[in-house]
Amino acid sequence: MPRDLQLRATLREWFAGQPKYKNLREAASSVGIPFDTLRGYFSGKRPTGKNLRLLIELTGLPLDPVPRAAGPQPNIKSRLYASRLLDELQYDLARCIASIPAVQTSLNDGVPTGKLRTSPRAGRQIQSLMDALQRSLEAAVNDPATLERVREAVSGSDAGYLSGLLGSLFDDRRLQTWRQMTTYRYGSK
């Protein structure tokens, strides 16, 4: 959940200028909000309902229940159009990213191994791809129609291959066994 930096700054400024409480624990007990919860609000977590009213009572500040975005909100037609454009962009980018390793391998063909360097970002690249995949899959499993499209487009064999490979990355013996036992080639079905 994104932090509300404006709320954080407002609460910290209020606390620095108030003379009544020596620390946040004192303020929390006086208003009836658990200390850790109040500390979360001072970090930018948005309060709702009862705690919002208690926080307003504590500070005397006019805190909005929902942060408002500046300017007019786009209508539904504009949002759907933007969403479709992002979907197309995501698809095109995924195809481009998928082609990069093959191009790199082709460029490195014939280059002495000692001259090649491992990218310092290799692990972060894989983590970023996994993060994107997780978000896409999470959206798919919550929508039966999308889930059905995924099942039609994605090979179960490819999914199993990647699952086994990812699972073996963190144990050298398991990776060695996976390499020896795997005869399947990704993308072959």
| pLDDT tens string 126-152 | 888 888 888 888 888 888 898 899 999
**Domain coordinates of the chain in residue numbers?**
5-59, 78-104, 121-154, 155-189
State the pTM of this model.
0.54
pLDDT in tens, 75-109: 888 888 888 898 899 889 988 988 888 888 888 88
Query: At residue 7, does pLDDT exceed 60?
Result: yes
CB 188 within 8 A of CB 181: no
| Listed residue (77, 73, 57, 56) closest to 65, CA to CA | 56
Helix runs in the chain, H state only: 5-17, 24-31, 35-42, 49-59, 76-108, 122-141, 144-153, 156-168, 172-181
> Both tokens of residue 64?
């909005």
Say how many C-beta atoms besides its own lie within 10 A of residue 80's C-beta.
11
Q: Specify the DSSP class assigned to residue 69.
A: P
